[in-house]
Amino acid sequence: MPIEPFDKHYSRTLDSLKSLPSTIADVWLFEPRPARLAVERSLAETGRTLRIHSAYKCLLHSVLEQDLFVDAIAVTIRYPVVEHDEPLRFRLECYPLQDLFSHIDIQFLAVDHCGDSLPAYQLSIRTETEQFELSIAVPVRWKAHPAGRQLLVASGWMQSSDGQSVPMVTDYEQLYDDICAYLQVMPMTPMHPSEPGGPFFDQLDVCVTAPFQDEPMPVGNEAISLAEALHEEIYFTAIEIFQQRLGLPPMSRELKPGQVVPRISRGETVSLSIRANQARLAVDRDQAGCPVLSQATHWLYPSQVKSCLNQIDGQPILAMSRQGRVVEGRIVRNGVLPEQAMLAISGAQHANESSGVIGALRAALDLQQTGKLAFTVCPVENVDGYALYHSLCLENANHMHHAARYSAGGNDLTHGEGMFESAIRHNAYDLLPARVHVNLHGYPAHEWTRPLSGYVPQGFSRWTIPKGFFLICDYADESQLTLATQVLDAALEALYEFPEMMAVNRRMLRSYESVVGSLDFELYRDCIPYTLTQRPREPYSISLITEAPDESIYGEDFRIAHEAQYRVIMAVAELLASQVIPPIDDAGWA
């Protein structure tokens, strides 16, 4: 059964406000501040007073737009905790208030919310001369998520002058609801008899045009972006709906629906178009040559990756992606005997995490000169996702673009059943059965939210606010613990000796702790987050996973990120080259 297209144009909620009853005094919408202010002024010229608030990050917008903290020296924020909701949800929504007003003593207190009224922040604001109290309501409502959960979601709202209030469905919410309804009933017929679990389409383009305007904030890489929030909602909601329809558990990485692609464009009208398309290989962005890698301030194009790989004098490692792109790596033996040190290096398993690509290439180019280590390197494992990432960056260069995270099949590369691009890692292992794998990853360099699905990203709560360069070390069993600990220690110390990265880490950790309040990970020397866990990650016995805050950064921030990736690899390589590693026994991962 074919997947039918969907097209719809929406009346902009902001344009309909003039028809509201005169008793309505306040409304909450998903609109950037300039658009809301323009309509307020236009209505005021007709004699109508209407306050138009943001339905997204309400407290932050209220503080900024009403100058609530002017002259404040101390503020206590009592944030609501709603039963069955994420306990820190309304505290997280305040971010990055603490960084914007770092000169003010801001304290948070949790208060249980009871009753049917809207949850609200209670503020106690103290200046040099007075102390006053404020209450700021948050327009949210319980809503059944298409994947079967009840979630407390952000909502449009309106309130009369006598305090009576009711929800109002905005264009932002209606558009999202229509996408959900479409995904719940669209045909899911396998494209290939050999893959009954999917894919069900090559590429599902969900194209939204709306008058969104990102609002950069003077804190790191932060911006208030309704466009980015909608991209995240569309992509992850699609994944959740497909998981539910196929009876897969939440967060399953085995799901293989095809490539879901939200494309968010700016325009004066609000419209939605959904199409199941064939993958468009001909429009890959590319650029020849190879920059000086150590000074790179931008992700690499495919031809640049290829050019750098060609400088590595080693045996090619090859696989073919689902969309027909070559996945390429190298094995460099350096004359090292098999029982000596071996290392596997890979990048861009999740293709929107791009600093590891340069870190991997830089390390490989240097390691081939040392002659002390045998290694494999595949700088871009997920080449189809990498092409999509570059395409999405054309419209929104600084967004996270999690739609490029997985392969063209829609599955995580590690759950590809050895087919297509997922074969590259096993091909590398077959050629060089290393015990240690340095797997270069990244995560959002700014806040990650899903306001229409409970605000905190489901299953990714640890990553909603950046906390600096993070290390995850997993080992297969107790026999690998000693080496795993040595590998982790070498990487941690290498990062600690990189002052520019440590400055980023300290800044981000201060901000993270001021919002979250407690940590669910260890800290090395009080500034590098890490975990050490017994958890097999085939085919390697030990996996060191880097997590650089690199979605999506440029300039000096990007250079620092890939320099840190490079230093981690070189530190682990030096450790392995300094000792003779016993060969893997027959019961290992071979």
264 and 379 housed in the same domain = no
The answer to whether 238 and 183 are in contact (CB under 8 A) is yes
Residue 343 has pLDDT above 60, yes or no: yes
Looking at the domain assignment, is residue 120 inside a domain?
A: yes
Please tell me the distance from the alpha carbon of residue 497 to that of residue 51, in angstroms, as a whole number: 52
- Which pair of tokens denotes residue 22? 């005169």
pLDDT confidence band for 590 (50 / 70 / 90):
very low
Outline where DSSP puts E strands in 65-180.
Answer: 72-81, 105-112, 120-127, 131-137, 140-144, 150-154, 157-160, 165-167
pLDDT attached to residue 277: 85
184 and 119 housed in the same domain = no
Looking at the domain assignment, is residue 186 inside a domain?
A: yes
182 and 309 housed in the same domain = no
387 and 436 housed in the same domain = yes
- What is 532-581 written as a DSSP string? EEE--BTTBSEEEEEEEEEET--HHHHHHHHHHHHHHHHHHHHHHHTSPP
Its domain, for residue 260, covers 174-281
300 and 418 housed in the same domain = yes
Residue type, 229: A
298 and 433 housed in the same domain = yes
CA 13 to chain centre: 29
Give the tens place of pLDDT for each residue, 51-60.
Answer: 999 999 999 9
pLDDT attached to residue 337: 63
Looking at the domain assignment, is residue 586 inside a domain?
A: no
Residue 526 falls in which region: left (phi positive, over 0), alpha (psi -120 to 50) or beta: left
SS3 category, 526: coil
Looking at the domain assignment, is residue 587 inside a domain?
A: no
411 and 338 housed in the same domain = yes
Q: Give the CA distances from residue 134 to residues 75, 125, 155, 389, 512, in Å, rounded to whole numbers and listed in that order.
A: 11, 8, 22, 44, 26
122 and 193 housed in the same domain = no
CA 307 to chain centre: 29
Residue 490 has pLDDT above 80, yes or no: yes
Looking at the domain assignment, is residue 11 inside a domain?
A: no
Residue 580 has pLDDT above 70, yes or no: no
Q: Alpha-carbon Rg of the chain, whole angstroms?
A: 25
Looking at the domain assignment, is residue 13 inside a domain?
A: no
Helix and strand numbers, DSSP H then E, in the chain: 13, 25
156 and 205 housed in the same domain = no
Residue 239 has pLDDT above 80, yes or no: yes
Looking at the domain assignment, is residue 328 inside a domain?
A: yes
Average pLDDT, the chain: 93
Q: Give the CA distances from residue 302 to residues 299, 307, 308, 400, in Å, rounded to whole numbers and listed in that order.
A: 10, 9, 10, 20
**pLDDT cut 70: percent of the chain above it:** 96
Domains identified in the chain, total number: 3
Residue 416 has pLDDT above 90, yes or no: no
Please report, for the domain that includes residue 460, its CATH number.
Answer: 3.40.630.10
Which residue, of 281, 310, 325, is where some domain finishes? 281
Looking at the domain assignment, is residue 417 inside a domain?
A: yes
Which residue, of 140, 170, 200, is where some domain finishes? 170
Residue 63 has pLDDT above 90, yes or no: yes
249 and 298 housed in the same domain = no
352 and 390 housed in the same domain = yes
pLDDT confidence band for 338 (50 / 70 / 90):
low
183 and 270 housed in the same domain = yes
Please tell me the distance from the alpha carbon of residue 537 to that of residue 412, in angstroms, as a whole number: 13
Q: Residue 65 CB: number of other CB atoms within 10 A? A: 14
Which residue, of 233, 253, 281, is where some domain finishes? 281
Give the tens place of pLDDT for each residue, 305-331.
Answer: 999 999 999 999 999 999 999 999 999
